[in-house]
């Protein structure tokens, strides 16, 4: 078995795991109840989608419609979800720092040494 064949099998297995994981999450989780839930939904979807597209590419090859589908997915979908993920992480960190700063000001009754 060649390294390329091993990598291809790994891709197929990863696509199945990601797609099954997304389907189970979408069917069982109350993702719509929170911002974090929606983010996990879209993050899992885009990872499964990209892995599925990579798997399908081995069979469809470079037909025009499929190339455009990949372009839209990789140039718009994936960057949008990754940017959203980065914003959520940044927002949570910033909010935690602001709350800690406000909390220390209220407890000490004055300025915080920096």
pLDDT band at residue 8, thresholds of 50, 70 and 90? very high
pTM for this structure?
Answer: 0.74
pLDDT of 55-75, one tens digit each? 999 888 878 999 999 999 999
The pLDDT of 87-91, averaged and rounded, is 87
Indicate whether 114 pLDDT > 50. Answer: no
Residue written as token pair 């406000």: 102
């Amino acid at each position: 078995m060649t390294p390329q064949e091993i990598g291809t099998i790994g891709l197929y297995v990863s696509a199945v795991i990601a797609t099954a994981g997304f389907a189970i999450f979408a069917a069982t989780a109350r993702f719509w109840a929170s911002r974090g839930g929606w983010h996990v939904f879209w993050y899992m979807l885009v990872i499964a989608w990209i892995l599925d597209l990579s798997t399908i590419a081995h069979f469809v090859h470079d037909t025009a419609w499929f190339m455009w589908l990949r372009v839209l997915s990789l140039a718009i979908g994936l960057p949008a979800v990754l940017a959203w993920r980065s914003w959520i992480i940044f927002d949570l960190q910033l909010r935690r720092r602001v709350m800690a700063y406000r909390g220390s000001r209220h407890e000490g009754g004055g300025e915080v040494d920096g």
